[in-house]
Structure 1
Amino acid sequence: MNAAHDRWTATRDAAVWAPHGIAALAATHWLDDVEREYDGVPGWWRADGTAAAGRQTPADVRLRRGEAMYFGDLMLRAVDRDGAIALRAWDPDAPSRRGISAIVRAAYDPAFHVRGEFAATPRAAERQTVDGRRDDIVYPGAVTFELDGAELELTVEQEDDGSFFAAFSDATSGTESYQFRFLRLAAPDAAGCVEVDLNRAYLPPCAFSDHYTCAFPPPSNRWAVPITSGELLVR
């Protein structure tokens, strides 16, 4: 038993299965300047500068990045990706229509909680998302650690608060687990040491809905060893 891990699991379940949580995303429509109707979204919509503009919904509306509005149980939110505007719709009934209701998880195993070391060695790489988009990114460095005798490297992105985010795949990916998973790490200490808890590996949003645009792991994060911990699959 691990009380902190149990609390983390409960928080994840709430974020995924809430009425407008991760699993409830029902549509992502990339807009242009032509006003038109879109499946699953009331009204007529177009991109208007940095906003999604809707008409007869029942009233005209502009949604900027991150802004949301509701039509009954349906939640609409605008998304901006490098200037491209999308309208997303969350429907509380979407998970049941897909036949999903739970996350398959491995039991907590302290062997997957290890210490790593961060090296601030920036590296440029191409990043690809599940919808085929490619862009260039400069990662600030990598965390190296040992797991059951294997030396592993995790190329990371750094958040504004100093913490790290990474995507990885392993020998179980695509069979015993989803094709890749995400992991967040606390900021390194003064000596560059980082806690690596693979029990908190979690499924990317695109495991719950095809309407997300998650990024694949960089080549250095595609490991040949099995990581039988954390979130594995959607049931």
Structure 2
Amino acid sequence: MDLRAAHEDWVREREERVWGERGIASLAATHWLWTEPLELEGLPGRWCARDGVVVGEAIDGLDGELRLAPGEEAELAGVLLRGFERDGSLALRVLDAGAAARRGVSRIARFPLDPAARVPGVVRRRTSEQPTTSVDGHRATGEFDAIVELQLDGESVALAVQEDDGWYFAAFSDATSGAESHPFRFLRFPVPEGEHAVVDFNRAYLPPCAFSDHYVCVLPVPGNRWSVPVRAGERVVE
């Protein structure tokens, strides 16, 4: 399959993951919970965090409690509920097929496909810990598995990456960020067998928080913030 055909297939899959009925853009709320039960807008019953799971109680028509461990889902009141956890704190996420339309977003703007945006890189495998900050100000420590050395517009840059099931993942920003493109973007590419990788910036994609303010995406670490432009991949949501 040639580059354009492969990229078009990737775009179609990406569009479905974002705009599908329960896709990324459908997140309507993230409710952080405590041990004291709370009433949540638009949802029946009361909700709390207990024994490491999200618990819904006193829900009309439901016999007993609704319990959702992180990642577990249930349909209720016309929406999809999903348990969520971050650093030991629990939240209830609400996914609503109409959320994107209410926010007035419906498409992803992209830079033109550029074969030159497929950049060779050298992988330096070494584990490191770096402080991270999320868009909501939450601070944590992230473990990174490698540094990928790249040449962009004649400038040497380094990309700190995390390994996940055979893929490298990273957040980055560049000279287009906040102007021509979203303030930061994400990348995934296969972990190579040796030390040589190909980083395809045509597949740079918008973080979930570009589609909903209720995501808590992690910002790029300082070394992944570059002064060179990367005019490839997804730009903004419109």
Match of 1:83 in 2: 88
Instruction: Give 1:195 shift.
Output: 1.2
Instruction: Give 1:193 shift.
Output: 0.7
Root mean square deviation of aligned Cα: 1.2
Structure 2 distance, partners of 1:137, 1:24, is: 27
Match of 1:116 in 2: 121
Instruction: Give 1:169 shift.
Output: 0.3
| Equivalent residues, number | 233
- Normalised by the length of structure 1, the TM-score is 0.96
Match of 2:186 in 1: 182
Is the 8 Å Cα contact of residues 184 and 206 (structure 2) preserved in structure 1?
Answer: yes
2:4 aligned with 1:2: yes
Instruction: Give 1:21 shift.
Output: 0.6
- Where does 1:99-178 land on structure 2 (aligned, <5 Å)? 99-159=104-164, 161-178=165-182
Is the 8 Å Cα contact of residues 201 and 230 (structure 1) preserved in structure 2?
Answer: yes
Match of 1:197 in 2: 200
Structure 1 distance, partners of 2:106, 2:150, is: 34
2:228 aligned with 1:225: yes
Is the 8 Å Cα contact of residues 38 and 46 (structure 2) preserved in structure 1?
Answer: yes
Match of 2:32 in 1: 30
Which runs of 5 or more residues in structure 2 are unaligned? Answer: none
Match of 2:78 in 1: 73
Is the 8 Å Cα contact of residues 27 and 40 (structure 1) preserved in structure 2?
Answer: no
1:64-100 Cα deviation digits (max 9, x unpaired) = 1111111243000101212211000001111011000
Which one-letter code corresponds to 1:212 in the other structure?
A: Y
Which one-letter code corresponds to 2:40 in the other structure?
A: Y
Which one-letter code corresponds to 1:224 in the other structure?
A: S
Identity %: 45
- Normalised by the length of structure 2, the TM-score is 0.94
> SS in structure 2 opposite 1:111?
helix
Which one-letter code corresponds to 1:101 in the other structure?
A: S
Deviating beyond 6 angstroms after TM superposition, the runs of 4 or more aligned structure 1 residues are none
